[in-house]
Structure 1
Amino acid sequence: MPGVVNGCGTWYYGKKNVQQYQGVCRACNRVTTLTSYDTRLFVVFLFIPVFPLGRKRIIEDCAACRRHHAMAFGDWERANRRTQEAVEAYRRSPTDPTLAEEAVGACLGIRSVPAFLDLAPEIEQQLASNAKTMCLLAAAYDLFGHIQDSERLLQTALQSQDDYDTRELLADCLLRQDRHHEAQPYLQHIVDEGIPDRVDLLYQLAQGYQTKGEHEKALAVFQQCEVVNPGIVEDAVFVRLRDASTDHLGTHVAVKPADVANQMKRGAAFRRFTKVAAVVLVLAAVAYGALAWIQGLRREVFLVNGLERAYSVRLNGKTHVLEPQSVTKLRPGEGDIEVAIVDAPPGIAPETVTIRTAFLTRPFAKRTFVLNPDRAAILRRSRIYYSSSTSTAAPPATHSFIGGQTLHQFSGVDHAFEEPPRSISTDSHAKRVSREGLYLLSANEQVAMPTMILGLLDSLGKDAASRIARQHLLMEPQRYEYLRVLGLTTEPEELVAFLRTGVAQHPLELQWHRAYQSAMEDSEKQQEVEREYETMLAKDRHNKNLMYLAGRVSPSIDKAVTLFRQSTEGDSPCPYSFYALCGYYLGIGQFREAAENAEKAIKLLPNEREIQWYHRQALLADGQQERLLAVLQAEQAAPAPWCLTAIEEEAYVRSILGEQAKVKEVIGRLERRLKELGLDPTSERIRRLEAELAYAAGNPAKSAKILLELPEPGDQLIAHLIDGDLAAAEKDLQQPRPDTHTHLLLYLTATSRNERDIAERHLQSAVDLLAKGTSEDQAFAGAIKGDSRMPIDELLRQHQIPQAKAILLTTAGLRNPAGREQCFTMARKLNYDKRFPHLLLMQVLASQPVN
C-alpha cells in the first residue's frame, strides 16, 4: 500500500472506470461492497502529487478491510483485450458452449462487471438449452451479487436438464434468500435417495425453519437428516439445535442457530476447564518451555536483496538465489549464521551474524529479523494510524529509514513486508490506534535509488548513506550514479581510499577515475594525482582514456588540451575528451568549436545529463537556435524532471527569437505536462519561467514583481538584486546557504550603486570561498585580490561554467584596471544567456572605462 512521511511518499490519486458489486472479500471473507477502478500512483510532496509512478487497476477494493489487488494498468489493458478477444470469438460462434465458457471465464478473471452483463444475455439467449452453460452464468451472476438473475438461470438450467446438482444449486440460492419453503422440494431427492454426503443442505433447511420459528417443520427436516445420515446424531451441535426446536415446539419463537451453538460451546469449554484446570497449569509450564524452544529452532528471518540485480548467497553452506529487490522468508533458527555471497567481488568478505532472543520472554517478545547480505537495502519502518472518530481523520503515517547493515533486529512490528489493512477492529475504547509496518524501499521508473538516498539523508544519516552507496558500487560497479552519493556523504580521504580499489581494476572505468581524481583534488593532493596519471600514461601511451584522464588533472591548460585532442584522433576516440574540449572552447568564447565537439560527445554518450547540458549551452552560445530547438524537442520525451527543463528551455529560445505566439504554445504544453504529472499547472514553476522570460525580454521590473510573489528565499533574493534593494537581498542571503557567485552578484550590485561597504564585505566573502576551492577558483581569487602571478591570458583560459566565469571576469576586471579590457571583452562573450544576471553584467561592463 502507498504511504507518506511528513507529507512525502506515495499515494493513489483519481478514480475512473469505477465498478461496484456486493461480494465476498478474498482477504477478510466478509460479504461487503467490492470496488474496482483505474487510478494512478504518485510520488507526493506535502501531499501534492509530484511524479506519477504508473497507472494502476485496483481490483476488488474491500469496503471493510480496504485490502485490494493492484494491477499494472498495462497488464490490465492486455487482460482486457484478451477478454474482448474471447467475447468476440464467442460472438462469431454464438452456439459454441466452450467459447461461451472461455468468454465468461475471461470476464470473471478481470472482474469486469460491464463486460459480463453485456455478454450474459447473449449467451442466455443462444444457449438456453445447455444446462452446464446456464449454471456457469448463474455462478457468475452470483459472484457479482445478482442473486435473482442467478436463480432465474438455474431455473432455466433445470428445465433443460433436471438433475440433482442443478436442484441443489437452486435450493442453495433460495435458502440464501430465506425462501425455505420454495427450496425444500428441490432437496427431496436427498431424502428419497438417501444420499448421506448431501445432508448439509437439509441441515441448512432445518436451521432456516428455526430462524422463522417454524419448529414443526424444522423437527421434520432434522428427522430426515437422521434418516439420511444416522451418524449426524453424534454431532453435539446438531443434537442441541434439534432439542432447541423440541423445546419451542408449539411456539413461534425464533431460534438463532449460531447463538445456540456458541452457548453450547461456551458451556462445554467451561466444563472442560474445570476438569482439566490443574492438569493445564502443570502442562502450561512444559508447553511454554517447548514453545520457546521450538520458536528458537524455527526463528523466522527475512532475507532481503537491496540490489537491482540477482545474486546468490550461502547461509551456513546452503545456497539461496535472491531476485532483484526481493524479500524471502526463511526459518534458519536462532544461533550463528555464516553469510557468504557467491562469487563476491573484491571488498566483500564473508561474515558471521548472531540471531538470539531471551528464552524466557521469547514467546511474548515480538521480534523481526532482517538479513541483508549485500548491505545495500533501505528499510522503511512505518507507523500507520487508525481513527474511530468519524469527525477526525487519522493522522498520516510516520516513517523512519535504516540501512547499510547485514543484520537488522526490530521489535513491535505488526506487518513485516506485507500491506497493512485499510481498517481494523479493536475492543479498545481509544479513539486512535496504530500499527507498525516494515517494508523494503525499492527503486521505480520515476525515482532512481541514488536520488532516494540523497532525499533521505536526514533520516538515514550520512554514514549509513555512504555505506549503502559503497555496497552498491562494490556489487554493481557500473552503477556510476552512486559515485555522486558517495562523494556527498564521504570524507575525501576515506573516499580516495575506497575509490583506489576500483581504479586498480581492469578494464578501466572512466567514471570511477573521474570521481577518484576529484576526491584527490578535494584532499589537496593535486600534484600526487597528476604524477600518478602521468605514470599510468607512460606505461600505456596509446590508451586514449588515460590521455583524457591525464589531461583532466594536468595543471597546464596547453598540455591538457593537447592530450584531449590526441585522445579524439583515429578510431575509438574517448567521448569525454570531446566533452572536455567543448567545455574548454565554451569557456574561452570559441563557440563554434565548442558546438562541434559537443555534437561529437553527445553522439557517443547520448544519455549523459552533464554532456546534454554543455551541448545545449554550446548551441545557444553559437546561435544555432534551430538545432537547439530540435535537441530540446527530442529531450522532452525524457522522464520528469528533465522533460520539464527541456520545455522551459524551448520557451526561452522561442522568446529570444521573438516568437511570442509559439512561447504561449510552449507554456501551454508545459501546463499540460504538469497536469499529466499531477502537478498544479499554475504552480511556482510556471511563474518562475514567466519571470525568466520577462527578464530576457528586457523587462526586469516585471520579472522582479513575479519573483517577489514566490515563497522561495532564492527567488526573492534575485528579485531584490534586480530592484537594487541591497538590504532586503542581504536579509534573504541569511536563509539559503550563500555561494561564491551570490556574494559576487551582491558585490556587483553594490558597486553599481556606489555602496562600497556592502560591496567590500561580499567581495571578501567571495574571495575567501574561492581560496578554498579548485585550482581555477584559487586563480580567480588571486586575480580579484590583485596578488596573482598568473598572466591575464592564462586567467582567461581557466575552466568555469560560462555564466559563472562571466561574473568572475567582470569582478576581476573591476579590480584590475590593467587587465580590464581583456576581462570585459571575454565577459561580454560569455554573457550570451539573456536570463539573470545578464542585464546586471551588461550594466557593470558598460559603466567602467577600459584602457
Structure 2
Amino acid sequence: MPYTVNGIGTNYYGKQNLEKHQGVCGSCGREVELKSYDTRLCFCVLYIPLIPLGKKRVVDDCPACRRHHVLNHSVWEEQRGKAIREAVAAYEAAPDDIEKAIAMHATLASAGERAAAAKMVETLSERFPENADVQVYLGNSLEEIGETQRSNERFHLAYQADSTNPLAQHASAVAFLREGKPEEARKRLDEFEKGGGQVAPAILFALATEFEKQNDPATAAELLRRVSDVAPNARKEKGFRQLAKKVEETTGERPGTLAAPVGWWENRAVWVGAGAVAIAAALFAYDAHVAGSLTYVVNGLPKPISVAVDDGESSRILPGRWSVLKLPVGEHVARVVDPPEHAGETPFSVNPGRFSRWLRKPATVVDPTRSAMVLYEETVYSEVPVDRDNAFEVVIGEPSHTFDNADYHFVDFPAEIEIDREEVTKSRVGMVEIDPEVLFFNFPDQLERPEVLDFIESHLLAVDESEDLLGVYFGALTEHDALARGEAFLAARLDHQPIDVEWHRFYQRLAELNGQRDLPARYDGLLKMSPEDPDLMYLRARLESYADRSRPLYERALEVDADHVMTLLGKAYMEMATGDFGAALEATDRVLTVEPENFRAVQMRRRLLAGVDRRDELERELQTAIAESPLNLLATELMMASEAARGDLDAARQSQQAFAAKVAEEWPKDPYQLNVLTQVLLLRLEGDYPAAIEAATTLTDQARRAGVMQVNALLSGDTATAAELTGDLEAINQPDAWLWTCLAAATAGDSDAAEYRRQAVEAYSKQGGTFGEIGRLLAGDLPEKELALRAYFLEAEPDLKAALLLLTADRTEMYSGRLVELAERLILLPGDKTPLLEAAIAARKS
C-alpha cells in the first residue's frame, strides 16, 4: 500500500478501467462498495507526484479501511490472462466436473470479469441445481459481492438439496440469522452440532444478539454462557459486556453473572500494594513455568513464505504478515522452506531478561528472509492533545531483534484508552508496509546500515518489476563499496526466465564498473540459445560502445519486434549521441505511442525538442508538467535552461522564484534543499560563479556539495581547486570530474592539463564498456583517423561526449573541424558544464 511520512512517500494517481461492486472487505469485514482499477504509483513530496514508480492494478479497494490488494499492472494482466485461459481450457475439457466449473467461476470473478462470472453463475445453477456444495459456493460468492438476499436464497436451496450436508446446515443457519429468524437458525445449528460440527463463538454471539432483540433474554443468556465456556477472553470484549449487561438487567440476574468484573488480581493498584515476598514468589513461579517471550516470525516480502521453527511443521506467512509463537528461553532456528530462492536458516535467541519477562511485554521479532521493516513507536494519551516528538526505532532487515517492552504487539494503537492520570505513554511494535525504494527516500540514513544489502537483495528476488529497486541497490552498493558483491548477486540469476531486462542492464553496468571486458562474448552465447529474443538482442546491442556497431544490432531487434520499447530507447540514445536528433526524436515518439508515460522517453524527448529547435513546444510541455506538479525539480530546471537558451534570463529568474515560493509555502523545511539547487543553477546561467560557489556552501549533503563545488571551481577558472576537490569525490564520479578538469585546463593553456588527462585515463581505464573506451580514446594511442572515427561514433551522454570530442580534436588536426562541429551540436540546452564547452569550442575555432 502507498505510505507517506510527513507528506513524503508514495501515492496512487489516476484511475482507469474502474470496476465497482458491492462486497465484503476481506480485511475489515464491512459490506461496502469495493473498487478495482488501474493506476500509477508515484513518489511524492507533500503528496505531489514527482517520480512515477510503475503502473499498478489495485484490487478491491475498501473505502472504510483503505486496505486492498495491489499487483504490478503487467503482472496482473499476464497472470489474469493465463489464469482465465487455463480455467477455460480445464472447464471445456470436463464441463460436468463440479470442481472445474467452480474454479472457472472463481477465476472469472477474481479477474474482474463480472459479466462472464454472472453468466457462469447461471450455468452452475442450471447444470447442478441439486448439488448442495455448489449452492453453498454460489451463496458465498454472492455474499462477497454484497448480494445478501440472493446469498440467503442460495444457502436455503443448499439445505433443500441435501439437509444432511453440514455445509448446507451451517449456511442455512447463517441465512436465517441474517433474516432475523433466530429460532430457525438455532434449529439448523442443532442439526449441525449433532453431526459433529462445532459452532464458532462469533455465530453463538450473533445468535444471542438476535434473541435479545426478539425479547428472549433467557435464551440469550444461555448462549452467552456457551460463548464464555468456549472463549473465556470474550468476557473482556466491550460488545460482549454490553450485551451481557442488557440481558442481566432484563432477566434480573446478579450483575457480573454473565460477564464477571475484573478480579482483584487484575487490579494494578491492589497488586502493587502487596507484600514484596509474595510478589517475588509469584514472579519466580511465573519465571519457572512461562519463561520466554512472544516471538513473531515476520514476512516483509510481496509474496508468501513458508517457515519452520526448530523441529516444528512449516507455517505459511502471507505478505506483510507474521506468525506468533511462544518459545522458551534459549537458542532456536527458523528455516525458510519456500520460496526456494529464499531458503536458508536463521539462528536466533529468545532471552528477554528476567526483569522484562516479569514486568514488561517483550517481543522477539524474527525476519528469516531479511525483508521486513519493523517499527517501535510511542504515543501519549491525554485529555488534552500533547504535541511532542515521541520515541521511535526502525529495524530493517535484521535477522532477529528483541524489543524489551511494547504495550501493543502488531496491532494499531487504540483510538482511546481509560487513564487514571493526566497522561500515559504507550508503545507498540509493528510492521510498516512500505516499498523498499520509498523507504530509502524517507530514511536515506538507513542505507548506512550493514543489513541493508541483505534487505534489498531479498526484495529483488521477490519482485517482478525491479527497475526502481535496482537503482536503490546501486546506491547502497556504492555506499558500502560493494560493487563486486552486487555483480556476483545479479550474475547468479542472469539465466532466469523470462528475461528481466532491467536486471541485465544493472548487471552490465556493475560488471563494466568492475572492469569486465568479456560481456559481449557472454551475451553472444545467450543469443545463440535464443537467437530471436528481442530482449537479448537489445542487451547485446547496448554493450557496443560505438554507434556504427550497435546500429545493425538495434535494427535487427526491431525487425523482430518493431515496438520493443528498450530497443527504441537504445536507438534514440545512439542517434542522439551522433547528433541525429530528428531520428532520435522519431524513436522516442514511437516509445510514447506504446507506453505514453515512459519516464525515460519523456525526459529524452524534452532534450531532443531543444535539439530540433522546437522550444515553444518544449516549454508548453514543461509548463503543463509544472502546473501538475509544482515541486517538479527536473521540469523546473529544464524550463530555466530553455528560457536562458533563448536569452530570457528574466523568465528563468521568475521560474526559479515561483518554484522557491512554492517550496517555502508547501515544504518549509525542504530537507533536499531544492531551493539551493535551483538558485545555484540560476546563478550559473547568469554567469555569477562566485555567488554560485557561496550558495553551494550551504548544501548540507556532503557528496552533493563536493560535486557542485568542483563544477563551480571549474566555471571560475580555478582548475587547481577543482583537481583538489576531485580527489574528495566518490570513486564512481572521479573519472568524469578529471575529464572536465582536463578540458578546462587545456582550454586555458594550463600546463597541468597533461596530468589531469593522465588521471582521467587512469580512472576510466579501470572500467569496461563505454567508460573504458573513453579512457582508451583519451590516451590517444590510436592512428589519427581511427581515433577521430571512434570519438565521433562513441555513444555517451551529449555533454560528456562533447568534452571528449574537443579533447580528441587537440590530437587529430586533420579531423578537428568535424569533431568540434559535432561537439557544438551536442549542446542541447544550457547546463552545468555549458560554459566550459562554449569556451573550449571558441578556443579551438580560433
Alignment TM-score > 0.5, same fold: yes
Question: Which residue is 1:57 aligned to?
Answer: 60
TM-score, structure 2 normalization: 0.58
Q: How far off its partner does 1:394 sit?
A: 8.5
1:478-509: CA deviations, max 9, x gaps? 99767624522223xx665x579779989999
Alpha-carbon separation, structure 2, partners of 1:706 and 1:407: 50
Match of 2:375 among 365, 370, 381: 381
Question: Which residue is 1:70 aligned to?
Answer: 68
Question: Which residue is 1:456 aligned to?
Answer: 443
1:603-618 correspondence to structure 2 within 5 Å: 615-618=571-574
Q: 1:728 to 1:209 in 2, by over 3 A?
A: same
Question: Which residue is 1:437 aligned to?
Answer: 429
| 1:372 equivalenced with 2:367 (yes/no) | yes
Q: How far off its partner does 1:336 sit?
A: 1.5
Alpha-carbon separation, structure 2, partners of 1:385 and 1:502: 41
Question: Which residue is 1:544 aligned to?
Answer: 521
SS at match of 1:707: helix
Match of 1:301 among 283, 287, 295: 295
| 1:706 equivalenced with 2:655 (yes/no) | yes
Alpha-carbon separation, structure 1, partners of 2:538 and 2:572: 17
Q: Does the CA-based 8 Å contact 2:376-2:429 persist in structure 1?
A: yes
SS at match of 1:709: helix
Alpha-carbon separation, structure 2, partners of 1:9 and 1:331: 35
Q: Does the CA-based 8 Å contact 1:11-1:42 persist in structure 2?
A: yes
What amino acid sits opposite 2:7 in the alignment?
G
| 1:256 equivalenced with 2:222 (yes/no) | no
Alpha-carbon separation, structure 2, partners of 1:738 and 1:202: 69
1:339-375: CA deviations, max 9, x gaps? 567799999996743312334652432111122334x
Q: Does the CA-based 8 Å contact 1:369-1:410 persist in structure 2?
A: yes
1:718-765: CA deviations, max 9, x gaps? 2222222334322332244246687456644xxxxxxxxxx233x323
SS at match of 1:256: helix
What amino acid sits opposite 1:78 in the alignment?
G
Question: Which residue is 2:8 aligned to?
Answer: 8
1:29-178 correspondence to structure 2 within 5 Å: 36=33, 38=35, 45-48=44-47, 50=49, 55-59=58-62, 61=64, 70=68, 78=112, 81=115, 84-85=118-119, 106-111=141-146, 165=184
Question: Which residue is 1:402 aligned to?
Answer: 395
Q: Does the CA-based 8 Å contact 1:810-1:841 persist in structure 2?
A: no
1:644-669: CA deviations, max 9, x gaps? 3423433444565466897688669x
Alpha-carbon separation, structure 2, partners of 1:393 and 1:302: 31
Match of 2:479 among 481, 489, 502: 489
SS at match of 1:710: helix
What amino acid sits opposite 1:489 in the alignment?
E
Alpha-carbon separation, structure 1, partners of 2:741 and 2:629: 43
Alpha-carbon separation, structure 2, partners of 1:395 and 1:34: 38
1:681-715: CA deviations, max 9, x gaps? 78555544544544566655534532343232222
Structure 1 residue runs of 5 or longer lacking an equivalent are 124-129, 144-149, 155-162, 170-197, 212-221, 236-253, 444-448, 520-528, 549-567, 586-590, 749-758
SS at match of 1:330: strand
SS at match of 2:291: helix
Q: How far off its partner does 1:439 sit?
A: 0.9
Q: Does the CA-based 8 Å contact 1:3-1:397 persist in structure 2?
A: no
1:185-196 correspondence to structure 2 within 5 Å: none
Structure 2 residue runs of 5 or longer lacking an equivalent are 77-108, 155-160, 189-203, 230-246, 496-503, 526-530, 661-673, 758-777, 782-786
Bigger mean CA deviation after superposition, 12-21 or 434-443: 12-21
1:263-320: CA deviations, max 9, x gaps? 66899999999xxx9xx999987765454334337x4322345567777776545574
Q: Does the CA-based 8 Å contact 2:440-2:446 persist in structure 1?
A: no
Alpha-carbon separation, structure 2, partners of 1:847 and 1:41: 47
1:203-238: CA deviations, max 9, x gaps? 999998899xxxxxxxxxx9x999x99x99xx9xxx
Alpha-carbon separation, structure 1, partners of 2:121 and 2:316: 40
Question: Which residue is 1:830 aligned to?
Answer: 823
What amino acid sits opposite 2:692 in the alignment?
A
Q: Does the CA-based 8 Å contact 2:307-2:337 persist in structure 1?
A: yes
Q: Does the CA-based 8 Å contact 1:38-1:58 persist in structure 2?
A: yes
What amino acid sits opposite 1:292 in the alignment?
D
What amino acid sits opposite 2:144 in the alignment?
G
Alpha-carbon separation, structure 2, partners of 1:20 and 1:101: 19
Q: 1:48 to 1:782 in 2, by over 3 A?
A: closer
Count, aligned residues: 670
SS at match of 2:394: strand
Q: Does the CA-based 8 Å contact 1:38-1:57 persist in structure 2?
A: yes
| 1:581 equivalenced with 2:538 (yes/no) | no
Q: Does the CA-based 8 Å contact 1:378-1:404 persist in structure 2?
A: yes
Question: Which residue is 2:104 aligned to?
Answer: none
SS at match of 2:60: strand
What amino acid sits opposite 2:751 in the alignment?
G
Q: 1:120 to 1:422 in 2, by over 3 A?
A: same
What amino acid sits opposite 2:687 in the alignment?
G
Q: Does the CA-based 8 Å contact 2:520-2:540 persist in structure 1?
A: no
Q: 1:514 to 1:808 in 2, by over 3 A?
A: closer
Q: Does the CA-based 8 Å contact 2:630-2:659 persist in structure 1?
A: no
SS at match of 1:405: coil
Q: 1:424 to 1:44 in 2, by over 3 A?
A: farther
TM-score, structure 1 normalization: 0.57
Question: Which residue is 2:92 aligned to?
Answer: none
Q: 1:684 to 1:782 in 2, by over 3 A?
A: closer
SS at match of 1:836: coil
What amino acid sits opposite 2:521 in the alignment?
K
Q: 1:96 to 1:432 in 2, by over 3 A?
A: farther
Q: 1:286 to 1:604 in 2, by over 3 A?
A: farther
Alpha-carbon separation, structure 2, partners of 1:97 and 1:347: 43
Q: How far off its partner does 1:381 sit?
A: 0.2
SS at match of 2:395: strand
SS at match of 2:415: coil
What amino acid sits opposite 2:443 in the alignment?
L
Which has more radius of gyration?
1
Q: Does the CA-based 8 Å contact 1:367-1:413 persist in structure 2?
A: yes
Q: 1:431 to 1:306 in 2, by over 3 A?
A: closer
Question: Which residue is 1:420 aligned to?
Answer: 412
Alpha-carbon separation, structure 2, partners of 1:625 and 1:5: 41
1:68-117: CA deviations, max 9, x gaps? 76355987772855774478779999x999999987754432336xxx68
| 1:719 equivalenced with 2:711 (yes/no) | no
SS at match of 2:829: coil
1:7-49: CA deviations, max 9, x gaps? 334678999999999x9x99999xxx97555488966645415
1:43-76: CA deviations, max 9, x gaps? 6645415368653534483xxxx6x763559877
Question: Which residue is 1:525 aligned to?
Answer: none
Alpha-carbon separation, structure 1, partners of 2:404 and 2:19: 42
Q: Does the CA-based 8 Å contact 2:298-2:323 persist in structure 1?
A: yes
Q: Does the CA-based 8 Å contact 2:726-2:737 persist in structure 1?
A: yes
Alpha-carbon separation, structure 2, partners of 1:807 and 1:833: 8
Q: How far off its partner does 1:634 sit?
A: 5.5
What amino acid sits opposite 2:328 in the alignment?
G
The Cα RMSD (Å) is 6.9
Alpha-carbon separation, structure 1, partners of 2:209 and 2:682: 83
Q: Does the CA-based 8 Å contact 1:707-1:715 persist in structure 2?
A: yes
Alpha-carbon separation, structure 2, partners of 1:580 and 1:272: 74
What amino acid sits opposite 1:330 in the alignment?
L
Alpha-carbon separation, structure 1, partners of 2:208 and 2:338: 65
What amino acid sits opposite 2:651 in the alignment?
K
Question: Which residue is 1:356 aligned to?
Answer: 351
